[in-house]
Structure 1
Amino acid sequence: MNEVRVRFAPSPTGYLHVGGLRTALYNFLFARKNNGKFILRIEDTDRNRYVEGAVENLIASLKWCGLEYDEGPDKEGGFGPYMQSQRLDLYKKYADELIEKGHAYYCFCTPERLQVLKEEQAAQKLPQAKYDKHCLSLSKAEIDEKLASGIAHVVRLNVIPNQKIVFNDIIRNRVEFDSSNVDDQVLIKGDGYPTYHVANVVDDHLMQISHVIRGEEWLSSTPKHVLLYDFFGWEKPIFAHLPLLLNPDRSKLSKRQGDVAVEDYRAKGFLKEALVNFVALLGWNAGDDKEFYYMNELIESFSLERVNNSGAVFDLEKLNWINAEHLRKKSDLELLEMLKTEILNFQFSILNYSDEHLLQVVVAMKERVSFVKEYLTKSPYFFTAPAEYEEASRLKNWKPETPEQLKVLRNKFSELNNPSKEDYEAALKQTVADLNIGVGKIIHPLRLAVSGQSTGPGMYDLLFILGKEEVIKRIDKAIETIK
């Protein structure tokens, strides 16, 4: 095989969709696996949909995910420019070549005529609306006159009907279309800009793209691209069309049913390693039941032959699980740094916590959190005293005799000197024995008093991390507050 050269070619119409991330990721993995090149090309020829700042957002999202491209708008590789809007002369040159060969023609039909044609075909219940080749019959003199008069026009592909268009797809094997169902696609629009189809084929050829790996939604456009390759006399790349991403109800993944932008998941605290791991599994597996991957393992295992051709369901619960797994695999020191960053975004940022205290929190809660922010949302009591107490636990565990029992325990704690977890445990057990009550009678109210909650890490871990003075202060406050 010649050098593998693949591309991710998004349009700058907003954010990077998770479907776009999967396309980019599969291209990236395939390139790295085969020691090839991964190219970023920006397809910005649809000026009506262009969004200012979208290119920068796309690049930032790709880089955040670790998808470093070898060539692109800010990384010249000898095949640029990598923005289609900077390549317009090329597309005109090749469109002119198609016109000269009879494979394309000028069309001067007005939007009004095209609308009438569309309505007529709809009334006839034709399988699809197609242009009727009306302008193909114009003589050269008529065409020259209209062009000289500055009449608005487009350039269309001249599709010969009743032919079979066949290509092989790595994921779908042999794919066949009848050319009678292929429209005379507009190649150059009235504003002089190319449509996706001609720009895509010209750029893929000139950039020596070996494999076109893209979403299934482009499958129906591929016959037009195959015709263009044949009309130009160019070698076709190898195609691979990825399955659709689906909501759990198997409808097409869309913003109506939840977040679809990479930046949304980043903002919610998902780890980039987890998002990449999860997205890799949307339509691909290595042939086993392994679900936890780091990037280097994905590169090693990936192959297009293992991509399914049926839709892949976007399961948010699975993403949450993968995120938790990746979080737990991080070292305590890594989590410490992440927690310190997260604290800056919370109301606790005005307080100072020692690394020692935060490390203890990390260890105590590591198995109980799926996101870094949950160190703060699930266990705020490590950072500030409870302002309120969980109602259900108060009703169940706080009895009329509880305040007096907690006072005995509090006095026991006050006698301790620099207590360890074991010291707290011994003091509590001694108090239980002295009062002749069950452990539950005091341990549940104690947890409520110091944390405001009924669940959390081990009781003695909690007391040790908070420290003797803070524990006593919180017990006193609870006795005074809870009625």
Structure 2
Amino acid sequence: YAPYRQSERLALYLRYAQALLDRGAAYPCYCTPEELAAERERARAQGVPYRYSGRCRDLAPEGRAAFEAAGRRPALRLRVADRTHPIVVHDLIRGAVSFPPEHLDDPIIVRSDGWPLYNFANVVDDHLMAITHTIRGAQHLSNAPKQLVMYEALGWTPPAMAHLPEILGPDRKKLSKRTGAVAVRELAAQGYLPEAVLNFLALMGWHPEADREVYGLEELVRTFDIAAVGRSPAVFDPAKLTWLNGVHMRRALADHPERVVDICLRVLQDAGLVPRPASAADRAYVARVVEVLGDRLKVGADVLAYGDFFFTDTVRVDPQAAAQHLARPETRELLRALADRVAAQGDGWDRAKAEEAVRGLAAERGVSSRAIIHPARVALTGKTVGPGLFELMEVLGRERVVQRLRAAAA
């Protein structure tokens, strides 16, 4: 079906524009921008919707010749408004939608510089490329009757048409950047899984089962019925997207954990915390972090929210957490003692040795393990919540654990 760039298909468009002229389905319009602006102003003053007056619709040959002699270059308009019967769009979602011709305009389909406009180029491209279905947003429904007139005039069978409901933000207003309007590449950069985004978008206006939200690609393909898509606007709920991604992320962690490692690795590289390209050792370390964070990873970016401390030399301690868990002198003394205990352990370092150090110190001092676990977590991570303390101590390694405990106790 090449060429594919519209700039390389101009000869095709002009050929079919001439066909519309020859069949009386289009006509040259010599109106200047100033004349059209004056028409719009009169309509505005009268409080009525603007529609082209049709002053060039039935222009006599001598009138055309006079305009051309004056140097006017015509645009090409589609003849729509003088049709005698309604134009009916058979929409796969909305059923039969009737458009009385008197409520329609004669749209420009080729500008005076010879370049086609969207509606006309789209019809030519869809026909020549054997498009069977055109699925667009509801805001394009008003274009459909104009396109049907072109298909009819050119003797072509139009494709099946469907117009999807509008997508609104959580506030039920037009979707904006603030309420979730992001490009797919931005979702990818935040670490959303393709199958989760697809699952979420498929349910925008279509819901095959009232009590079910999670679908795989094969199920969506097998189940989808465009006639079952609703007509009312759908709501883009970022919280639901994140929840769905968490479900798919857990599946990926169980079945293909390397995919989650890849996603988190890209997020960390974009944040400058892991070099690009990553070494085998870098990747192995990220894999250990992913395993420890586990179900906390709803999206790839959560590796920063819950695990940035794994990839930094120092820890940024939340001031409120420090005031709650690190301010008392006896707490800092416990952290110093824990650091000494960890440093004095023999060769090898793992979760069991970390737990032994914490619980052994608690027993020795006659305090609950929690009196050490909570301050140690803040000292090591800067946070009050996160993965299990002993698991994160193992991943951080003995040297960093000792260094951070002593820094917090200073």
**Smaller-chain TM-score range?**
0.7 to 0.9
Task: Give yes or no for the alignment of 1:363 onto 2:363.
Answer: no
User: After superposition, where does 1:350-389 map in structure 2 within 5 Å?
Assistant: 353=281, 355-389=283-317
| 8 Å Cα contact 2:180-2:238 kept in structure 1 | no
Change (3 A) 1:435 1:272: same
Task: Give yes or no for the alignment of 1:133 onto 2:133.
Answer: no
Structure 1 residue 149, shift from structure 2 partner? 5.5
Structure 1 residue 304, shift from structure 2 partner? 0.9
Counterpart code for 1:449: A
How far apart, in 2, do the equivalents of 1:267 and 1:420 lie?
Answer: 33
Q: Which has the higher contact order (CA 8 A, sep 6+)?
A: 1
Match of 2:362 among 432, 453, 473: 432
The corresponding residue for 1:406 is 335
How far apart, in 2, do the equivalents of 1:247 and 1:460 lie?
Answer: 42
User: After superposition, where does 1:413-424 map in structure 2 within 5 Å?
Assistant: 413=342, 414-424=344-354
User: After superposition, where does 1:190-229 map in structure 2 within 5 Å?
Assistant: 190-229=112-151
How far apart, in 1, do the equivalents of 2:312 and 2:123 lie?
Answer: 61
Change (3 A) 1:232 1:419: closer
Counterpart code for 2:258: L
Structure 1 residue 162, shift from structure 2 partner? 4.8
2:273 counterpart SS class: helix
The corresponding residue for 1:153 is 74
Structure 1 residue 311, shift from structure 2 partner? 0.9
| 8 Å Cα contact 2:274-2:311 kept in structure 1 | no
How far apart, in 1, do the equivalents of 2:194 and 2:307 lie?
Answer: 24
How far apart, in 2, do the equivalents of 1:360 and 1:114 lie?
Answer: 67
| 8 Å Cα contact 1:385-1:474 kept in structure 2 | no
How far apart, in 1, do the equivalents of 2:27 and 2:131 lie?
Answer: 27
Match of 2:64 among 143, 156, 167: 143
| 8 Å Cα contact 2:180-2:236 kept in structure 1 | no
Change (3 A) 1:410 1:181: same
How far apart, in 2, do the equivalents of 1:391 and 1:81 lie?
Answer: 61
| C-alpha distance after superposition, 1:400-447 (max 9, x if no partner) | 222333344344432454254334334433322222222222221222
Change (3 A) 1:125 1:428: closer
Moved more, 141-150 or 471-480: 141-150
1:418 counterpart SS class: coil
How far apart, in 2, do the equivalents of 1:247 and 1:355 lie?
Answer: 38
Q: Give RMSD over aligned pairs.
A: 2.6
2:97 counterpart SS class: strand
How far apart, in 2, do the equivalents of 1:298 and 1:476 lie?
Answer: 54
Structure 1 residue 461, shift from structure 2 partner? 1.1
The corresponding residue for 1:96 is 18
How far apart, in 1, do the equivalents of 2:117 and 2:159 lie?
Answer: 20
The corresponding residue for 1:44 is none
Task: Give yes or no for the alignment of 1:306 onto 2:228.
Answer: yes
Moved more, 101-110 or 407-416: 407-416
How far apart, in 2, do the equivalents of 1:260 and 1:385 lie?
Answer: 33
How far apart, in 2, do the equivalents of 1:237 and 1:92 lie?
Answer: 22
Structure 1 residue 175, shift from structure 2 partner? 0.7
| C-alpha distance after superposition, 1:270-308 (max 9, x if no partner) | 333333332222222333443333433332222212211
How far apart, in 2, do the equivalents of 1:138 and 1:390 lie?
Answer: 77
1:174 counterpart SS class: strand
| C-alpha distance after superposition, 1:190-213 (max 9, x if no partner) | 111122222222222222222221
Moved more, 236-245 or 410-419: 410-419
The corresponding residue for 2:158 is 236
Q: TM-score, normalised by structure 2?
A: 0.88
Task: Give yes or no for the alignment of 1:472 onto 2:402.
Answer: yes
How far apart, in 2, do the equivalents of 1:457 and 1:242 lie?
Answer: 43
The corresponding residue for 2:42 is 120
Counterpart code for 1:467: G
The corresponding residue for 2:271 is 346
The corresponding residue for 1:393 is 321
| 8 Å Cα contact 1:246-1:253 kept in structure 2 | yes
2:212 counterpart SS class: coil
Match of 2:388 among 446, 453, 458: 458
How far apart, in 2, do the equivalents of 1:337 and 1:257 lie?
Answer: 28
The corresponding residue for 1:166 is 88
Structure 1 residue 246, shift from structure 2 partner? 1.1
Moved more, 193-202 or 419-428: 419-428
| C-alpha distance after superposition, 1:330-376 (max 9, x if no partner) | 23333334444444333433697555543321111021122323323
How far apart, in 2, do the equivalents of 1:153 and 1:324 lie?
Answer: 57
| C-alpha distance after superposition, 1:237-277 (max 9, x if no partner) | 21111111112222222446554333333333333333333
- The alignment of Structure 1 onto Structure 2 pairs a total of residues equal to 401
How far apart, in 1, do the equivalents of 2:193 and 2:292 lie?
Answer: 21
1:344 counterpart SS class: helix
How far apart, in 1, do the equivalents of 2:126 and 2:335 lie?
Answer: 75
Is there any run of 5+ residues in structure 1 with no aligned partner, and where?
Answer: 1-78
